[in-house]
Each structure stands twice: as C-alpha cells, then as structure tokens.
C-alpha cells in the first residue's frame, strides 16, 4: 500500500487522519461484483461500517444497495444516490420517526426484529395509507465463533425473532393489512473468517424456509446478512477478501427457490483494508519494564481496541520507508493514545523498529468501524480523512 514518495507526502499532513486507498476500494468492489454476479446475488453495503461520503459515492456507483441501521443512515444513503428500492433498514430499536420517514421514502424493506415492531410499522403505514414491505429477522441460533461483542445470531443476543415465536408473528402479520411480508433476514455476526458458520447458517435457513413452505407462505427474498471477515494480521497478503469462496458456500448450501432473490449485507469486507489511521509519535516514555509510544491518535479516532480488544497491525512508516538503518533494531512498545483512559491503548508489548518523536505510524485495516465510530470525547476534533486520489 505504501511507498517512499507516498510516505513523504503523508508526512506533510497534520495528523491524525484516515488515509483511504481508493484504488484498493475499487478493486475490492470489483471483486465482490464479479463473484456475486455469477449467482445473481444482490449486495447491500452496510453503511454502519463506514459512512464516509467519498466512499459511499464510489460504492453506490458500483450499483450496490444500502443496508442501514438508523434513520440517519437511510438519509445518508438517499443523499448519496442509493436507490430507495435498494435500501434495507434493520435494527432492534427503530423509532416512530425513523419508520415514518423511511415509509415516506419508500425504501425496499424493513428488517423487523419483534412482534411489537411489526405492530407499530403496520399502524404507521396505515396512517400514511401505505404498505410496508418487511422481512423477518430471524435468529438462526448459529454461533459465529467470533468475539462475543460482535456475535448476533444466538438466542441470548437481543437481535432478531426466535424460531419458537414464528407462529405468533404470523398471526400478527395476518391481522396487519398494511404489512407485506416479502422476506427472511439473518445476520449472525461480524469478522467471521472461517466459512463453516455460513454453511451452518444456510442449513438453518433451509429448515426455517421449510416451516414457511408447509404453511403455504411464499418468501420472495432471502437476506443472509454480512459478516465476512478480513485479515487484520497480514493486511497486504489478502487485501481483497476471498469473496469467491464466500459466495460459493451460499450457492452450494442454500436452498434457493426459482422465484427467490438472495441478498447480502457486506460492510467490513468491502471497506476495512482500504483505510489506514495515520498518526505521529508524540513522545517515547521509557519505563522499567515497558516502553511506551504515545501517539497523537487515540481511542477517539479508533475505538475498536478499547471496545473489543481488536488487533490492528501497527507500522512505523518513517523507520520502514525513510530511515532504513533503524529498521534493524526492534523493541517492544506499548502503543497508546493521548486520551485520559487506561483503555486508550492500541497494543501492548508490540515489536516495532526503534521509534522516535515525529515518526509516522500506521494503524492498518481501519477502514471499517474506524472513522465512523470516532468520538469527540476530551473535546477532540472528529477524525479527518485524506484520499489517495487527492494527494
């Protein structure tokens, strides 16, 4: 991703900032498209991974739909030209205002997560004299084997409708004249690198479909969510995730009926690798046991390590590209930010070239759940962005 002349340019820009490699984003999008098109699968980009407008414009141009989890995400999708008929709206707690505005915008589908939500959508649609298309988000009770904070498809999670509730859900829908049930929706979690959970999901979806078939309820759309993982440890090795194998699993194991359309909601796998958080070393603190690198970026720019102990590869770009002799001496550092929280630490005991004040540091694979999760805590400025085509 980096070379000497790029590093020299980045050095002149005020840190911290996100750097986006748009070439890599475009290559990733092209790979998703090529593999999904083989099976006529529909892709909805999950805005919550990164709602940066420059990125949204590129993703929208590729013809993807949008997967939103708030009213403001629906608005951002519309503002950036996503077609309303390609917008799906999920979320366990949609407000009346968010539902009403989405009905007015005529989005494709609400992914519903409870009986009470279906009632409310029916009432609001009725008062607007509209029909709301909904999909039932069903909890498949599949363990995604990912971090417990980002697993969503187990009965103990707050998300989705459980299988044993389906009878009463269908009773509710029968009595809801402004609801049009068009699909089933699933999302088992995030950062799933092993494809086995997706195969298990297919098996569960087939069983659940059978339940509807035996009741003569036709389901036009299957939405299997997102969750494909990326390689955080070696970001340059598989910069474009293996979409081929991922879609193959669904094509092979999902029982797709002739009339059905299959939808995916990919977030992380599309944008994670194209983003890098660039920061400078403010100070080196030498302790008895630990040496600290204090960066000018912290959990306010990238909260993932503090929130769910996530790993991001750290590179000293100055030592690696501009000052070769230093690359030979490596030291263990705790790499921390400036925020007044002990959890504001990106990595403990991380092996890096000998580092100095002013060195440029890259936190890799931060295009997803990075900038979009940034905070103003400590009255910090919101993280800025620089694009590869603009420098």
Ligand X SMILES: *Cc1c(COP(=O)(O)O)cnc(C)c1O
With the C-alpha atoms ordered 156, 158, 160, 166, is the resulting torsion angle positive or negative?
A: positive
Least distance from ligand X to the Cβ atom of residue 328, Å: 38
Q: Which is nearer to ligand X, 135 or 295 (CB)?
A: 135
Least distance from ligand X to the Cβ atom of residue 269, Å: 6
Least distance from ligand X to the Cβ atom of residue 190, Å: 3
C-alpha torsion 303→305→308→309, nearest 10: -170
Cβ within 8 Å of residue 131, ≥6 positions away: 125, 178, 179, 180
CB distance 363 to 272 below 8 Å: no
Q: Which is nearer to ligand X, 10 or 59 (CB)?
A: 59
| Dihedrals phi, psi of 134, to nearest 5 degrees | -130, 155
C-alpha torsion 238→276→283→383, nearest 10: -160
Return the percent helix, strand and coil in the chain, to nearest 5. Answer: 35, 25, 40
Least distance from ligand X to the Cβ atom of residue 72, Å: 15
Q: Which is nearer to ligand X, 242 or 341 (CB)?
A: 242
Q: Which is nearer to ligand X, 47 or 278 (CB)?
A: 47
Q: Which is nearer to ligand X, 32 or 49 (CB)?
A: 49
Q: Which is nearer to ligand X, 272 or 293 (CB)?
A: 272
Q: How far apart are CA 257 and CA 264, in angstroms?
A: 16
Least distance from ligand X to the Cβ atom of residue 207, Å: 21
| Contact set with ligand X (CB under 6 A) | 46, 48-49, 67, 69, 90, 187, 190, 225-228, 265-269, 368
User: 22-37 and 243-253 are packed helices; what angle lies between their axes, rounded to 10 degrees?
Assistant: 20
Least distance from ligand X to the Cβ atom of residue 89, Å: 10
């Amino acid at each position: 991703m980096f070379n000497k002349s790029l590093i020299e340019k980045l050095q002149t820009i005020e840190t911290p900032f996100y750097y986006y490699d748009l070439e890599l984003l475009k290559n990733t999008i092209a790979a998703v498209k090529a593999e999904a098109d083989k099976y006529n699968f529909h892709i909805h980009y999950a805005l919550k991974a990164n709602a940066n407008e420059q990125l949204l414009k590129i993703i929208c141009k590729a013809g993807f739909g949008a997967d939103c989890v708030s009213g403001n995400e629906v608005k951002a999708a519309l503002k950036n030209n996503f077609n309303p008929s390609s917008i799906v709206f999920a979320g366990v707690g949609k407000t009346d205002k968010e539902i009403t505005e989405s009905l007015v915008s005529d989005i494709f589908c609400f992914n519903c997560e409870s009986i009470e939500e279906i009632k409310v959508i029916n009432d609001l649609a009725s008062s607007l004299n509209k029909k709301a298309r909904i999909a039932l988000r069903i909890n498949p009770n599949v363990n995604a084997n990912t971090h417990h904070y980002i697993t969503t498809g187990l009965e103990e999670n707050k998300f989705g409708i459980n299988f044993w509730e389906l009878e009463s859900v269908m009773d509710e829908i029968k009595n809801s004249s402004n609801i049009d049930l068009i699909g089933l929706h699933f999302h088992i979690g995030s950062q799933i690198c092993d494809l086995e959970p997706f195969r298990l999901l297919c098996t569960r979806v087939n069983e659940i479909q059978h339940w509807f078939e035996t009741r003569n309820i036709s389901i036009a759309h299957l939405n299997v969510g997102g969750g494909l993982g990326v390689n955080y440890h070696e970001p340059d090795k598989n910069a474009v995730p293996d979409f081929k194998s991922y879609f193959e699993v669904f094509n092979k194991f999902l029982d797709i009926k002739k009339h059905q359309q299959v939808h995916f909601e990919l977030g992380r796998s599309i944008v994670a690798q194209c983003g890098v958080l660039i920061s400078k070393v403010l100070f080196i603190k030498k302790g008895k046991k630990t040496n600290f690198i204090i960066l000018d970026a912290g959990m306010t720019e990238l909260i993932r390590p503090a929130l769910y102990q996530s790993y991001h590869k750290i590179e000293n770009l100055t030592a690696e590209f501009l000052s070769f002799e230093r690359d030979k001496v490596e030291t263990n550092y705790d790499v921390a930010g400036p925020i007044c929280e002990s959890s504001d630490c990106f990595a403990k005991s991380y092996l890096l070239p000998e580092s100095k004040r002013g060195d440029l540091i890259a936190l890799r694979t931060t295009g997803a759940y990075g900038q979009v999760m940034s905070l103003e805590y400590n009255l910090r400025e919101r993280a800025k962005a620089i694009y590869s085509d603009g420098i």
